[in-house]
Structure formats: structure tokens, C-alpha cells
Structure 1
Amino acid sequence: MRSRFAVVAVVSILGTLAACSSTGPHVPAPIESRTPGSGAPPSPVPTPAQPLPPLPPLAGEPEHPHARWVPTAFAALPGWRDDRTLELWPALRQGCTLPAPRWVALCGEALRFTPRDDADARRWLEQRLEVFRLESPEGEATGLATGYFEPLIEARRKPGGAFRTPLWGPPAGFVPHKPSWTRQEIDTLPEAQASVRGREIAWVADPLDALVLQVQGSGRLHIVEPDGSDRVVRLAFAGNNEQPYRSVGRWLVDQGELKLTEASWPTIKDWVRRNPQRLQELLWANPRVVWFREETLADARVGPRGAQGAPLTPSRSIAVDPASVPLGTPVWLDTTEPLSARALQRAVMAQDTGTAIVGPVRADFFWGWGDDAEAQAGRMKQPLRMWVLWPKA
């Protein structure tokens, strides 16, 4: 799970399937069957037979043990002049409230500067930053983009009717990083049930919605209160039972219920509709349980906090591997939109991490919240190229 926001890429619902060229959740057809549009990244760079030697460190360059940073120029960024760069500024300012050491002085400037338009924002970046193309240690420049979102789910304060699946805060005797009861044990053992009794925050109607919240690690609940009033609150990550995460999509493939190319979140839901008697077996295949804490959602336009500690900005924040890209760093993406295959080329901020986000050319794109964000995130599994924008020495 992610630090703070604790969100795993939506593709993590399928776990290791992502490494097997499967689709991500919510994809009705295999991604491999789609024809990329004209904005699709070029074919992957051939991987050399032997790892390339590390590049010598450059002035102002941070430690990045898992990636090669190859110096290049803004002119090499595909679509650089077409980006609505002004839209980066809210995310940049959020990140600058908690800057990395190398960014302290530059963030002071950014917080005082208000660009007039996209061109003004681009000029500011060009004058103060330099560009590095990200590659693997072997020289591979093409990687993977996935997406994630903040779920919005109907809930109630008391169990009743269809709303009978609880979402819990940390159980009695909770000790961070200490393994505790599995999902199956909580459902079947009296002593495990006693540990979570009275820790219920709310109840949802669909156990799969609860699973999505736990996989994502955070979300929004639309709660109808006992007095009839309603409000939206945020559930934030508060820990887990330290059991291993197991993919329910992978389990269905291993059971012979789905083909590798069929596994997606809609097909998982459809399988449950056709096999309701096996729902518990599916859920128990993943022993990990996530605990939450409720937070007031003072401003519905503000995203959850990422691993950097800054609120995430829809379509301008990404999760990265911090061993390759330092948190708080602007990054240029060259990929495609999942629903249209149009080019998705823009400046974003590296502000989050995730256990599924590993490697130098790897990004998890934060789409925001709501139905459209869920649809985009669930379908995203695109070829990707990335460039780091780093302060000049």
C-alpha cells in the first residue's frame, strides 16, 4: 500500500497479471487489441545485451540508483509546446509546501510567481530547469503507465438492508507492522471478530466496493446519516493487518475461471454476479485487510495526500518509484489516454508512491474521483516514456 494515501494502482487488483501483459481492471477488451492513435509512443528502444555503464553524476543531480538520467533538452520533449502548462502550477505549489532540499530555493520562487498563461509557465520552467530522459540501467527508455483514482461509494452509519459490509478502523491491540488476523479469520473466528467489533466506521452494500477501497487504500464515502442528512467524508489509510496482498484477478485465472487476457475489474464483477456462492472464497483469496480513519472533506476539490505529504491534483500528479525519481519533482510524460488513444503528453508532479510502481520508466497517473476517473484509471495500461525536469546547478 502507498505511504499516506496508500493507493495501489488499479491494475494491482490483478496483481502479477500486470507483468504478464494483461489488461487492467474496467477494460472490456484486452489492451493489446487496441490500435494506438497517432500520439502513441514509439516502439520500445531495443535493450542492449549487457547493462550500460552508469552515467557520471552531473552537477545538481540527485541519487537515483535504479535509473539512468540521460541529459537532453526541452526541444526533445514530444508535445512540450502544446501542453496547458498553466495547469501544472496548482500541483507544483502543493508540492512546494513540502519541498525536497534541492528545491527549497526554487520553490520559494514558484510560490511567489503567478504565470500569466501557458507560455509564461513554460518559460519559467525552461529558464530554471534542465531535462533528463529516464532509462533503465540497461538503457530501456519505454515503460508502463497505469492509472488510479479515489473511489466514491454509498455508505451508512448503521448496518441494515443491503448495507452490511463493514469498513473498519484499526482493531483493538493494533500494532503497526505486526501481522494480525487474516480476512478469513476475521470472518470466521470469534476472537478475530472481537478485535474489530465496535471499530466499524461505516457499512457499504457491496463487498467488492469494500475490496476496491482496501486495494486503493483511500476513498470517499457518501453517507446518509441516521437523521436523514447526508455528507461526503474521506476514508484515509490507517494501517493494515500486514498479511500479504493477493490478487483476486490472479486467483480467478489460476482457478481457470478467466483467461489471462479477460481478467479485468468488470469481468471480476460479472463472475461474482454469476457465482454468488463463491464470493466469500474470492474475498478470502486476498488475506490483507486495510484499516481506515475518517477525515472531514472540507473542500471536495482537494485530493488525498500522496506519499510526499501534498494533496494530489487530478491529471497533474503521479506516483513513481522514488529510487528513480525524487518526490516533488516535475516529470514530462509521453503516453496515450486509455479511452481514446489520444496523445497524453504533459508536465506532472511526482507526489506519490506505490508497491506496484517499481522501476525508472513507471508512472501511476492520478485521475481524480468520480465515474470518469474510475473509467479512465481502470483502462490505463499504456506504453510510456518519461523525462525528469531538475533544477539547474
Structure 2
Amino acid sequence: MVHQTINTRINPAPRASSKINNMKQLLWRVVWIAIVGSLVACGSGPRRVVVEEATPAAPAAPVARPVDAAPRASGGLAGAPDTPSPQKFYRSRWVPVSWNELPGWQVDDLSDAWNAWLQNCERPGPLFAPLCRQVKQLLLADNQDKRLWLMSHLQPYRVESLDGNPEGLLTSYYEPLMEASANMRPGFEVPLYAPPDALQQAKRAGQPWLTRQQIDTLPEAKEALRGKEVAWLADPVDALVLHIQGSGRVRITDADGRTRVVRLAYAASNDQPYASVGRWLLDRGLVRDASWPGIKAWISATQSSNPRLVQEMLWSNPRYVFFRPETRTEKDADLGPRGAQGVPLTAGRSVAVDKDSIPYATPLWLTSAGPNGNLQRLVFAQDTGSAIVGAVRADYFAGTGAQAGDFAGRMKQGLRLWVLWPK
């Protein structure tokens, strides 16, 4: 398979500043300086972290518990003698640093990051909400002005584990795009389901529902899921991929020959623990490469000769995800899926985190270097995942489609994170 990676740099949006004359540029500078000056003069005391609950359109996400915010640093920029002291946030420790500690801080193109911040402002939570008016006003500002504004309003904190380790793990995920049918027919016999009533009953009782194998084999499961089909796929491996990613798009060809793309959003899970099929294959010595390209190569080589072994691999992950079709308007057709924060994800600028380490809506500086890519960029904590656990842990949203999937399937390398926290 030819390895393709997504372009981790997105071309900046068209700049209106290239078309205005020098007088307007001077006027913009004066206005911007006035905005920043007024904001710096309006400092408030220490805040407490309260992250808003996710919208019903997103997977259920508990509200983050209150934590004492870091003391405010007078003087504006990090590195001053009165820099805040280290803070703890449940699973992580935040250590205040100066801006010059952030690798690549001066070179990141902030134009596409700003688009992600505008999405962030749909549900910023009370801590970041006061910044959103200025974020919108700075949309057409250049990178230098955006960077200066960030440095005057935010304090960087290096994220560490509670024992002081700043090193962690970066993986990646994506939104699959798969061929599907609205009805079962030859070649499309693998269902994707909406949540059944029995699942809600199990949740009310505080119990997990049936495992993946039980859902596939038990008559009572088939009966509970009758009429809950939202689409039919050709391959059970594709269904597993959708379950692991948590959402995706399917291209459906109707009886009249017309095609339409439907986004399937996360609706619920069976509350069974997630288990890695890659780990299952490694433990049995069946593969040496447990990336998704490696797993797919093993499946391709094994499916015809030993289909029962492939089925056993699929059942090794008991977790099962249910979906709901999402209405897509012309306005949001090109937006990413909604993460646990309740806002659309932005390719290359959204990450899933452990919400007990980093609250939703938090801007982060991310650095990661390895064979799958060198990243130094501004991202936002907008999602979570059952496998994303730990202080310095992130899952990088790569985008939609096969190219993003190839990048995501190979990404597994070291990570360092800095929280950018309001002063």
C-alpha cells in the first residue's frame, strides 16, 4: 500500500489585508492596539474551571469538576518574576513556563487555527467565553498580531504526569467515508444500528449491554435491534473501523441511482470495555505491524483461508457503538463531526484528550516528532475517547476520508503538550 499522509499545513484563508491600502492598514493597527490595551486593563481575579456539558448532538460528557485556577500573573507575559506556581488538575500537573519554551511557537500559521477557535467559541465554557469577542475581531489580523494577542492573554503551562513526566503519546483518528446501502441487499449485509430500547434499560440499571459477539450471534439481540438499522455495509471490518472512530460518513446509492452522503454521528455504546484488535494480533504473533495498514494487510491475506480467525479478531473487542443519522445543511456540509465538546472538529487543529487531565475548549501547544510526521502547532481540546487516558495523551483529528485514515492508522509517536490558560 502506498503511504499517503494528510497535509498538516492548511493554506491560510484569503487575506483581506492584501487588498486594502496603507491607510486602512494603519487604522486596523490603531484599533487593534486599543482593543488589547482595554483588555489588559480589565484583568479579573483567579477563576475556577467549569466546562460546559456537551450538547445532545455529541457523546455524553460529564461536566469537568471545579479546580482552582492558576494565580494571575501581573505584567502580562510569562517569564516575569511573579509567574504562577505549578497547579494540579486531577490526572495532570501544570508547570508555568515562558513562551520561548514552546518549540516552533513563532512559525505556526495561525489562520486555520483561528477558524478552529471560532468553532470553539460555539461552546467555550464560562472560562474562555470572555475571550471570544476578541477572537472574532482578530479573524483578519495577521499572524504577528494574533500571536501577540495570545501572549498577552494566555499563560503557557507544561503538562506533566503527577510524577513530573512531560513525555506522552500521540495517536490519530479520522472520519471514515464508506460505501453503504439504505437497505440490506447482496453485497451489503453488515448492519449499523441506532441504539435499541434494551440498551437504555441496561444503562438505567447501571449495567453494560451485550458484547460485540453476543450482538452478532444471540437471537434476543437480533430481536432487540430489529428495525434499528441505519445503513448496511459490505464488510464487517469497515463496521469495526466506524465503531472505533466513533462516527463517519456513508455514501448511499438509492434505487433511482442517485447518491447521497449521510453522516453517522455517535449515539451510544454498549458500555463494554474497549480492547485493541492490534494488541490481540500482536499477542498471538500474527502480525509485527499493528497499525491499521498492517491489520488490513493481515485481514486481506487471511480472510479467504481462515475467515473464522478474522471473525475471532473482530469479537476480541467487545465494545460496540450505535449511531444516529445527522442532518447536514449546505452550510455545515464541509464541517467535521462534532466532538464531545459539542463543536465541529477541525482537521489538524482538534484533539481528543483525557478530560480529567485537560478540560474541553482548552487551547494547547502540541509538539510531536517521529517517522509519521513532525508537528508543532496550536490545537484545541474538543473531544475524548475511551482509549485516551493519561496526563500527556492526545488523539489528533486528521480529517475525513482515505488519505486521513492512512495518516491516522500510522500515527503513534511521542508527545509534549502545553496548556494555554487565561491569565
| TM-score bucket of the superposed structures, by smaller chain | 0.7 to 0.9
From 88, 94, 97, the counterpart of 2:122: 97
User: In the alignment, what sits opposite 2:149?
Assistant: 124
Give the distance between the partners of 1:201 and 1:67, measured in 2 at CA: 40
From 264, 267, 277, the counterpart of 2:291: 264
From 381, 384, 388, the counterpart of 2:412: 381
* TM score, norm. by length of structure 2: 0.75
> Which residue type is aligned with residue 91 of structure 1?
A
From 212, 216, 226, the counterpart of 2:245: 216
Distance 1:57 1:306, change over 3 A: same
> Which residue type is aligned with residue 59 of structure 1?
R
Give the distance between the partners of 1:139 and 1:252, measured in 2 at CA: 33
Name the SS of the counterpart of 1:81 in structure 2: coil
Q: Conserved in 2, the CA contact under 8 Å of 1:165 and 1:203?
A: yes
Give the distance between the partners of 1:359 and 1:281, measured in 2 at CA: 29
Structure 2: give runs of 5+ residues left out of the alignment. Answer: 1-53, 61-67, 74-83
From 372, 378, 385, the counterpart of 1:354: 385
Distance 1:359 1:172, change over 3 A: closer
Name the SS of the counterpart of 1:80 in structure 2: coil
Distance 1:347 1:300, change over 3 A: same
Give the distance between the partners of 1:240 and 1:189, measured in 2 at CA: 18
> Which residue type is aligned with residue 204 of structure 1?
L
1:84 aligns with 2:109: yes
> Which residue type is aligned with residue 316 of structure 2?
A
Identical-pair percentage: 50
* TM score, norm. by length of structure 1: 0.80
1:317 aligns with 2:330: no
Deviation at 1:337, TM superposition (A): 6.5
Mapping for residues 163-312 of structure 1, pairs under 5 Å: 163-175=188-200, 177=203, 178-258=207-287, 261-276=288-303, 277-278=307-308, 279-298=310-329, 299-312=332-345
Per-residue displacement from partner, 1:331-389 (whole Å, max 9, x unpaired)?
Answer: 001113754x4x31111111111222222221111111122211111111121111111
Structure 1: give runs of 5+ residues left out of the alignment. Answer: 8-54
> Which residue type is aligned with residue 363 of structure 2?
P
Q: Conserved in 2, the CA contact under 8 Å of 1:217 and 1:237?
A: yes
> Which residue type is aligned with residue 112 of structure 2?
E
Give the distance between the partners of 1:170 and 1:56, measured in 2 at CA: 39
Give the distance between the partners of 1:82 and 1:367, measured in 2 at CA: 21
Give the distance between the partners of 2:360 and 2:343, measured in 1 at CA: 10
From 71, 89, 97, the counterpart of 1:58: 71
Distance 1:132 1:356, change over 3 A: same
Give the distance between the partners of 2:232 and 2:69, measured in 1 at CA: 55
The size of the alignment, in residue pairs, is: 339
Higher relative CO (Cα under 8 Å, sequence separation at least 6) belongs to 1
**Aligned-pair Cα RMSD in Å:** 2.3
Per-residue displacement from partner, 1:168-188 (whole Å, max 9, x unpaired)?
Answer: 111243316342232222332
Distance 1:322 1:172, change over 3 A: closer
Give the distance between the partners of 1:307 and 1:354, measured in 2 at CA: 9
Give the distance between the partners of 2:336 and 2:241, measured in 1 at CA: 18
User: In the alignment, what sits opposite 1:142?
Assistant: 167
Deviation at 1:297, TM superposition (A): 2.7
1:390 aligns with 2:421: yes
Deviation at 1:154, TM superposition (A): 0.5
Please say which structure displays the higher CA radius of gyration: 2
User: In the alignment, what sits opposite 2:30?
Assistant: none
> Which residue type is aligned with residue 169 of structure 1?
A
Per-residue displacement from partner, 1:300-352 (whole Å, max 9, x unpaired)?
Answer: 3201111111111111111112222221111001113754x4x3111111111
1:367 aligns with 2:398: yes
